[in-house]
Structure 1
């Protein structure tokens, strides 16, 4: 099968390498120094899936149709990447591998003749350079679309992915996106402070602030009529209880997440974007909570603050100390 991967960052490179090892014909889009590097030396993935290597066709943009496409850009770059490759993607089934809530709807708008699906992945991967990725946490991915039951088309593409990397088909995919959004509240404070996720959770004041952003996300989801789908042990019932629990008790959630990460430093995708000099997707993470809150007629002050602080770091190029974060927090 000919499979295109749009965007060869940490996750795009990982999926391209693992799918190529299954015998698929992979073509990967990339720009700048990444293109000649991957053409010359392929893609190397180390860590959670062992040492893997593939040499996919690397191009700036697609020029021929394919059987399946994975959109693996950051959320803020998705619309431009899809539009640039729209001629070749027209009518091709598309799997959007992104954080946030809007990836599938963006693909559907730009590719009205394509079947579009979302892929939630819990894999943690670190981009170490063109064609070089270290997987710090190997974990399942989840495929689906809409808020209804799994359909036959979803099961077909789930089987293709599952042969390369553990993938499950999900009912109520929209609810799962919201659960992943709660998990993605791990990202903002590392990007603001320059600390790893584990280090942030290890500091009591920062951990409390992270917990507040997570609880606020759950409350906004509930106000929006969302029924959360279970991911990583986070069920609708558990998240509802978390949203009303005392702050001291709620901190068990980020602490349990840190325990699952192990000792390998997890920077989080937002901090990785800053390290590469790229715009972050904070407007599609904490910013998505703020937007949903406005639409539901409720407030999201913690997520609004964290969104603002990440943008401040983007502009200044300087991380904030934990003391500075505390001083900005009301």
Structure 2
């Protein structure tokens, strides 16, 4: 099958390489150093899915219509990347592999003749250099669309992706996006402190702030009338229970996530963006919680401050110490 992968960062590089290994004809889009590296030596994958080396066709933009396209850009780059390739994509099926809440809707708006699906990947991957990706935690990818039951088309694309990477089709994909948003609260504090996710969760003060951001996210989702989708052992019942727990007990949630990661340092996608000197997608993670809270007539002070601190590190290029971070939250009541 002819498959295009738009965006070849950590996840895009992973999917492209594994799809080539599964026997598909893969074309990727990239720019700058990434494009040059892939053209020179392909993509090399190490870690949890084994070692693999793929040489997909690498272009700045697609030249022909593929059978399937995966959009694997950062959330803030999705609209521009889809628009750049819309002439050949509109009418062809698209799967948006992305954090945040807006990816599938963005694709559907820009590609009105295409069937658009979403994929939530729990894979932890470090982009170590252009064309180089290390998988620190292999995990499934969850595929679907809408808020109802998974349909036959989604199941068909699940079968295609499952040839390359563990993939499951899920009901209530929109609700699962919210569940993934809770999981993505792992990202901001590593970016702010320059530490791995494991180090952040192991620090009592930082773990308390992380738990507060997760709980606030669940409460905002509930205020927006969301029924959380099932993802990695989390779902509506567990998250609603978590929303009522004091922080001292709620810290079991980030601890559970940390246990699944193992001990290979997980840097988180937001910290990786900062390390590469790129804009982060924080406005589509913690920032999305703030926007959704506003729509519900609420405030989201924990996520608002985390968003501001990531932007501060983006601007100044200097990480904050755990003590500095905890002091910034001292005026908020975290209990």
Normalised-by-shorter TM-score class: over 0.9
1:58-97 to 2 correspondences below 5 Å: 58-97=58-97
* Deviation per residue, 1:73-102 (Å, 9 max, x gap): 000000010011111111110000000000
Work out the CA distance in 1 between the residues paired with 2:33 and 2:224.
43
Report whether the alignment pairs 1:286 with 2:286. Answer: yes
Report whether the alignment pairs 1:153 with 2:160. Answer: no
Report whether the alignment pairs 1:142 with 2:139. Answer: no
Report the count of equivalent residues: 330
Structure 1 residue 5: deviation in Å?
0.2
* Counterpart residue number, 1:181: 181
Structure 1 residue 46: deviation in Å?
0.5
* Counterpart residue number, 1:226: 226
* Deviation per residue, 1:122-175 (Å, 9 max, x gap): 000000111110000000000000001111111111100011111011110001
* Deviation per residue, 1:191-220 (Å, 9 max, x gap): 001011011111111100000000000000
* Counterpart residue number, 1:29: 29
Work out the CA distance in 2 between the residues paired with 1:320 and 1:41.
37
Work out the CA distance in 1 between the residues paired with 2:53 and 2:262.
25
Structure 1 residue 37: deviation in Å?
1.5
Work out the CA distance in 1 between the residues paired with 2:265 and 2:309.
22
* Counterpart residue number, 1:296: 296
| TM, length-normalised to structure 2 | 0.97
| TM, length-normalised to structure 1 | 0.99
Structure 1 residue 42: deviation in Å?
1.1
Moved over 4 A (4+): none
1:49-128 to 2 correspondences below 5 Å: 49-128=49-128
* Counterpart residue number, 2:171: 171
Structure 1 residue 13: deviation in Å?
0.5
Work out the CA distance in 2 between the residues paired with 1:235 and 1:87.
39
1:260-279 to 2 correspondences below 5 Å: 260-279=260-279
Structure 1 residue 36: deviation in Å?
2.1
Work out the CA distance in 1 between the residues paired with 2:280 and 2:247.
28
* Deviation per residue, 1:228-283 (Å, 9 max, x gap): 11211112111111101111000011111111111100010000000000000000
Work out the CA distance in 2 between the residues paired with 1:150 and 1:112.
21
Work out the CA distance in 2 between the residues paired with 1:185 and 1:139.
18
Work out the CA distance in 2 between the residues paired with 1:185 and 1:54.
32
| SS of structure 1 residue aligned to 2:260 | helix
Aligned-residue RMSD, C-alpha: 0.7
Work out the CA distance in 1 between the residues paired with 2:326 and 2:125.
29
* Counterpart residue number, 1:15: 15
* Deviation per residue, 1:281-325 (Å, 9 max, x gap): 000000000000000111211000000100000001111111111
Report whether the alignment pairs 1:45 with 2:52. Answer: no
Gaps of 5+ in 1: none
Structure 1 residue 35: deviation in Å?
1.5
Work out the CA distance in 1 between the residues paired with 2:3 and 2:224.
36
Work out the CA distance in 2 between the residues paired with 1:32 and 1:246.
48
Work out the CA distance in 1 between the residues paired with 2:222 and 2:170.
20
